[in-house]
Structure 1
Amino acid sequence: MAEVSSLHKPSVNHAPRLRWDARPWLLCGPGGVFFLVMLGVPLVMTVVLSLYGFSYTEGLIETRTLASYREALVDPYFHEIFLRTYALGVGVTLICVVLGAPEAYVISKLRPPWRTICLLAALGPLLVSVIVRTLGWVLLLGNHGLVTEALRFVGLTDRSLMYTHTGMVIALVHVFVPFMVISVWAALKKVDPATEQAALSLGASKFTMLRRVVLPQVLPGILSGSLIVFALTASAFATPAIIGERRLKVAATAIYDEYLSTSNWPLGAALAMILLVLNALVIFAYNRLVERRYRKTLGEA
């Protein structure tokens, strides 16, 4: 009887207990510590420095104040600098998209060895220092440079493009367009050529095929490339400093001048933190917009 009753007892499943695995944390630990030391500590020190007071007669003052942030946010001079910085970032990003995305698509359709040769030519600027590339543009955009003389010959301008917004855009596009090519190229590697052939076989024109089939598949590469280009342009220093000099200041050159020219370190630190926060807000808003667009496309929102 006991044996029969024991057969009708519900069996109890003893689920295995989940044990905490420390291996991922141990593997990520060295990289996390390195990140905190090399990036977190300087950021904290910059925030602390921005809260110091400053006097042109006494230098740093051991007080905690928001005077530097107030000056950076209220002064129209810095408003103009930040507007120029982000206008430059948007312009360079749009031009890099227009040039880099088609360039990557054309290169992806070439056959070896031309594909490799053209890809190396497109990414070649990354093999040269940004200072060297910018100095090359100084020679081209200078008073008697090749670009200036060509523009004079066709009657488009009679002055040099040095120390102009256009000159900075041209030089920055040359510096950052390879990043757009890399991002779009990586997205194109995932595109199935059969989808293009299927669209053409169903009667779609080449333009319709590019717009309805290829573009949606490479859009993540374009978006990630535009984020990279915008962030690098908004924080660029060497190219604006050489092409624009002190006549067309951007945020990075303004920070440099506050640190080394006027020795107003708290104001320079405050400008650096404002630039960091604004860049983070723009990137975050851009990501949210892209995610919302994808959800609408997939019918999830």
Structure 2
Amino acid sequence: MESGNNTRISDFLLLGLSEEEELQPLIFGLFLSMYLITVFGNLLIILTIISDSHLHTPMYFFISNLSFVDICFTSTIIPKMLWNIQSKNTGITYEGCITQMYFYILFAGLDDILLTVMAYDRYVAICHPLHYMVIMSPRLCELLVLISWVLIALYSLLHSLMVLRLSFCPEMQIPHFFCELSQVVQLANSDIFLNNIVMYFAAVLMGVGPFAGILYSYSKIVSCICKITSAQGKYKAFSTCVSHLSVVFLFYFTALGVFLSSAATHNSHSSTIASVMYTVVTPMLNPFIYSLRNRDIKEGLKRLYLMPSIKPIMLVLWIA
């Protein structure tokens, strides 16, 4: 079909997790709770790292950036979903859908790249400990984060522009709780062959590439740990990687679960349920993983709590 003015539609309809009316209050309460925990937990990690000079190291610089991205990631999706449930209006404007899609891809991609950069940081710390602070200089850390933002912003812009060329019918129903790229593309009236090619190529590039980098870094880390003679030294070296490995496992295996569930069953509802894991659950769990498995973060949280100027802020966050 020809593309043209059909793209000037009033809105899309997000079907959400369930269309059953009696389940909406439960879904609203559950997702509101998870969203507040995500924002509060990640803000606490950021405040702890900023306020504690002991945590002004490359590793915690990347962790604070990851926490910021996780807050933005969930804030791109959950508030709109909660508003739709509360107002009993499933609509989202065409412009709003494209905007949500852009920022969703942006922050998901940043999560992916930051985890890869953090793997490189752990590789340098364990395999080149004497040169760690020289190699991972503040300038390099800032440059790595800046490059990540620029590359992923362009990557997200490419996908958004590819969607803008498509045409849609008015009030098209999206079987998801947010404007997920592949779901929106499949609903288009125009030819989506080029979009599919770009999506699959980008998925391989952004999925396999960073994951291969993480595997390579950890293959070198394991090799270095095996050369350490003392058991205590091996444990200390490996313990610095446990939190990062846990987050990597959560992010990649939940994303893989979404891909496999949609590919195996061709059921959009099962894919939607699986998407909850990496869009909501993983960002919520990340602060707990870093705080429970990291002694420095625990000590930083204690020092943060004891700061007189911080207590009112923490009280407000807790009440909120």
The normalised TM-score by structure 2 is 0.28
Higher relative contact order (CA closer than 8 Å, sequence separation 6+): 2
Of Structure 1 and Structure 2, which has the larger fraction of its residues in helix?
2
The normalised TM-score by structure 1 is 0.29
